[in-house]
Amino acid sequence: MDQPIHEAEGSLLRLICLETTDAQLRTEVMARLRGYAFRSVEHQVLFDCLQAMPPDRAELLRELLPARLVRAGFPDFDLAPFVDSTGEHRGLSAQEVQELCRALTRSELAEHGSDRKEASKPRERG
């Protein structure tokens, strides 16, 4: 897995999970990532669970997320890196958040573009 992409996904998910994140910023990030296919299965499952929760009720995350992750088949999911308020996400500006969102969606477009190119190449007969 591409490490910078994995780190960008994690940073944005931490931002979404924090109670201190502005509700408007959380909603914007959720909207921008709605169609994004996370590279990490754990990240995708966490995002899917977050989408099912009200974005303006961050205080419910610590209470509701563990049960939702268990129902999604991830009983041992370690939420600490996402809900701990001492991580590197505290230094993210709104502009940095937008850049991370753009980087992820660009990486996905590039990946799907290369898949299409491969699919459209004529196959050699052998």
Q: What's the N-to-C CA distance of the chain in angstroms?
A: 32
pLDDT digits (tens, 9 = 90+) for 64-85: 999 999 999 999 999 999 987 6
Q: How many CB atoms lie within 10 A of CB 89?
A: 22
pLDDT for residue 125 is more than 80: no
Task: Report whether 3 contacts 37 (CB < 8 A).
Answer: no
Burial of 103 (0-12, 13-18, 19+ CB in 10 A): middle
How far CA 97 is from CA of 25, 59, 89, 92, in Å, comes to 9, 21, 9, 6
> Quick check: is 60 in a domain?
yes
> Quick check: is 82 in a domain?
yes
> Quick check: is 126 in a domain?
no
pTM value is 0.80
3-state secondary structure of 39: coil
Q: How many domains does the chain have?
A: 1
pLDDT tier for residue 91 given thresholds of 50, 70 and 90: low
> Quick check: is 32 in a domain?
yes
CA dist., res. 72 & res. 1, Å (int): 23
> Quick check: is 52 in a domain?
yes
> Quick check: is 39 in a domain?
yes
pLDDT digits (tens, 9 = 90+) for 10-62: 999 999 998 888 888 899 999 999 999 999 999 999 999 999 988 777 788 88
> Quick check: is 125 in a domain?
no
Supply the range of the domain harboring residue 116: 3-120
3-state secondary structure of 8: helix
> Quick check: is 9 in a domain?
yes
Q: Which of 41, 47, 42 is nearest to 16 (CA)?
A: 47
Say which residue the tokens 């910023």 belong to: 25
